[in-house]
Structure 1
């Protein structure tokens, strides 16, 4: 997803050298990788939430899960709340 920003036209008239063009290409590459990593992180967070929900439905307590995962019970609560917030949107 891209936005037009506050400038119109392309940046090509501002690229002064092959080195600048390489840097612009690298910025684009890094941006694309960051977008993909964000997508993967969101997907993994949804999967984690589904697994936590399944374990809770099978009788595990939040404290049990926290102990097993090496996190606090409050961290489990935040994971659950974050998933509920996403479901409401």
Structure 2
């Protein structure tokens, strides 16, 4: 395995980890079962399992979750702050 392939694999694992965390937060904030949120995100990406998703698909799903969480925060009137994570950047959420 080349260094480039290893870096790509690590980036995908990091994105998947961030998406897993963001999906859990979305499930908690919407009082939904985590499995239903995961199915919704997998459908959005067009995959059966997250491991099949490309880096771009994972980023798109993270952006979608981030948008949903920001919209939920606005509806509740939460002030934007450090907790407003940009999940699409691939950075870990603040938890």
Q: Do the structures match in fold with TM over 0.5?
A: no
Shorter-chain TM-score: which interval? 0.3 to 0.5
Larger Rg: 1
Higher relative contact order (CA 8 A, sep 6+): 2
